[in-house]
Amino acid sequence: MMKLYFSPRTRATRARWLLEELGVPYELVKLDLARQENSTPAYLAVHPLGEVPALVDGEVTLLESLAICLYLADRFPEKHLAPLIGSAERGPYYQWMAFAEVSLEPVVMAFYRHAQSPEEKKASAHLNEELAQHRTRLAAVLDVINVGLVGREFLIGGAFTAADVVMASLLHLANTLKLLDGHPRLVEYVKRHTQRPAVRKAVSG
């Protein structure tokens, strides 16, 4: 059986969400990051950086939540969570996966780190100047996604795919950081996706 190394409220949730959407059997191995269960020699043999998630599927051990989502969606083609290779929709599928991870994630994480930093650091002029630049970039990146979702429920071709798992996970974080104010379409997209039964299962227990 596949094994997912997981901790709640981390990037491992997107992999668990996708497994729940697929409805395939898997073993969930929970690691308590606060107790450094991700730094044991046994886990470092699975993931040399001691990060979650990691997926073990027989001979295959995979790091990187994006790679795990791409792999899982293709591994079960009968579940239709990825457009077929060579289809017209496969290009946009890659595009939105990469856009979420490479263009959206770093700027959301900059705001996340800022929200976590101590109050005296938050007041620093340097940091606020940096944040202003991030805000300009964020607005441009969110506009691209917003335009991509005009008249659509999902990112790709009218059907839910693994790209929605990755995008909605990141936009959910952006929403909790109040970065989606002024983007009602994106807020609605996040709400609709996070209400899916598979999400409830992925964040339970």
Ligand X SMILES: N[C@@H](CCC(=O)N[C@@H](CS)C(=O)NCC(=O)O)C(=O)O
Residue 62 touching ligand X (CB under 6 A): no
Closest separation between CB of residue 84 and ligand X, Å? 25
Show the tokens assigned to 56: 């073990």
Is 193 in contact with 187 (CB distance < 8 Å)?
no
Nearest Cα residue to 171 out of 185, 161, 150, 151: 185
Nearest Cα residue to 167 out of 135, 142, 150: 142
- Among the listed ranges 64-72, 115-123, 187-195, 196-204, the one in contact with ligand X (CB under 6 A) is 64-72
Is 58 in contact with 32 (CB distance < 8 Å)?
no
Task: Tell me how far apart the alpha carbons of residues 110 and 138 are, in angstroms, rounded to a whole number.
Answer: 10
Pick the binder of ligand X from 64, 131, 201, 203 (CB under 6 A): 64
> Given the complex with ligand X, which of 50 and 92 has the nearer CB atom?
50
Is 205 in contact with 20 (CB distance < 8 Å)?
no
> Given the complex with ligand X, which of 11 and 193 has the nearer CB atom?
11
Is 19 in contact with 11 (CB distance < 8 Å)?
no
Residue 108 touching ligand X (CB under 6 A): no
> Given the complex with ligand X, which of 52 and 138 has the nearer CB atom?
52
Pick the binder of ligand X from 20, 21, 51, 164 (CB under 6 A): 51
Residue 61 touching ligand X (CB under 6 A): no
- Among the listed ranges 45-53, 82-90, 175-183, 197-205, the one in contact with ligand X (CB under 6 A) is 45-53
Closest separation between CB of residue 189 and ligand X, Å? 21
Residue 10 touching ligand X (CB under 6 A): yes
Q: b/e for 27-63, b at 16 or more Cβ within 10 A? A: eebebeeeeebbeeeebeebbeebbbbbbbbeeeebb
Query: Residue 203: what residue type?
Result: V
> Given the complex with ligand X, which of 20 and 105 has the nearer CB atom?
105
> Given the complex with ligand X, which of 65 and 161 has the nearer CB atom?
65
Interface positions with ligand X (CB under 6 A): 10-11, 33, 38, 51-53, 64-66
